[in-house]
Amino acid sequence: MRVLVTGGAGFIGSNLVDRLLADGHDVVAVDDLSSGNGDNLARAAESDRFALRVLDICDPALADLATEVRPEVICHLAAQISVRRSVADPMRDARVNVEGTASVLMAAHRGGTRKVVFASSVAVYGRPATIPVPADAPADPRSPYAASKLSGETYLATFRALHGIEYTTLVLSNVYGPRQSPDGEAGVVAIFTDAMIGGTPTVVYGDGTQTRDYVYVDDVVEGFVRACGSRGDGRRFNLGTGIQTTDRRLHSLVADAAGSPDKPGFAQPRMGDLPAMAVDPVPAVEGLGWEPRTDLATGLKQTVEWARSRRR
Ligand X SMILES: NC(=O)c1ccc[n+]([C@@H]2O[C@H](COP(=O)([O-])OP(=O)(O)OC[C@H]3O[C@@H](n4cnc5c(N)ncnc54)[C@H](O)[C@@H]3O)[C@@H](O)[C@H]2O)c1
Active-site positions? 145
SS3 222: helix
20 to 5, 164, 293: CA distances (angstroms): 10, 25, 19
How far apart, in whole angstroms, are the C-alpha atoms of residue 123 and residue 268?
22
Choice between 116 and 172, CB closer to ligand X: 172
CB contact at 8 A, 144 and 87 = yes
222 binds ligand X (CB under 6 A): no
Cis amide leading into 60 (omega within 30): no
79 binds ligand X (CB under 6 A): yes
Taking residue 265's Cβ as centre, other Cβ atoms within 10 Å add up to: 8
Please report how close the Cβ of residue 58 comes to ligand X at its closest, in angstroms. Answer: 6
The single residue among 4, 36, 194, 236 that binds ligand X, judged by CB under 6 A, is: 36
Please report how close the Cβ of residue 74 comes to ligand X at its closest, in angstroms. Answer: 13
In the window 109-128, what residues touch ligand X (CB under 6 A)? 119, 121
How far apart, in whole angstroms, are the C-alpha atoms of residue 295 and residue 253?
11
In the window 132-191, what residues touch ligand X (CB under 6 A)? 172, 174-175, 186
CB contact at 8 A, 120 and 156 = no
300 binds ligand X (CB under 6 A): no
Please report how close the Cβ of residue 199 comes to ligand X at its closest, in angstroms. Answer: 25
SS3 119: strand
Amino acid at 123: A
Choice between 152 and 287, CB closer to ligand X: 152
Residue 206: Cβ-neighbour burial (10 angstroms; 0-12, 13-18, 19+): middle
The single residue among 28, 41, 44, 81 that binds ligand X, judged by CB under 6 A, is: 81
88 binds ligand X (CB under 6 A): no
Choice between 39 and 207, CB closer to ligand X: 39
Q: Candidates 31-39, 63-71, 204-212, 223-231 — which segment interacts with ligand X by CB under 6 A?
A: 31-39
How far apart, in whole angstroms, are the C-alpha atoms of residue 288 and residue 94?
30
The single residue among 33, 157, 162, 285 that binds ligand X, judged by CB under 6 A, is: 33
Please report how close the Cβ of residue 263 comes to ligand X at its closest, in angstroms. Answer: 26
63 to 68, 78, 92: CA distances (angstroms): 9, 15, 21
Q: Candidates 79-87, 200-208, 221-229, 304-312 — which segment interacts with ligand X by CB under 6 A?
A: 79-87
Binding site for ligand X (CB under 6 A): 7, 9-13, 30-36, 56-58, 77-81, 96, 100, 119, 121, 172, 174-175, 186
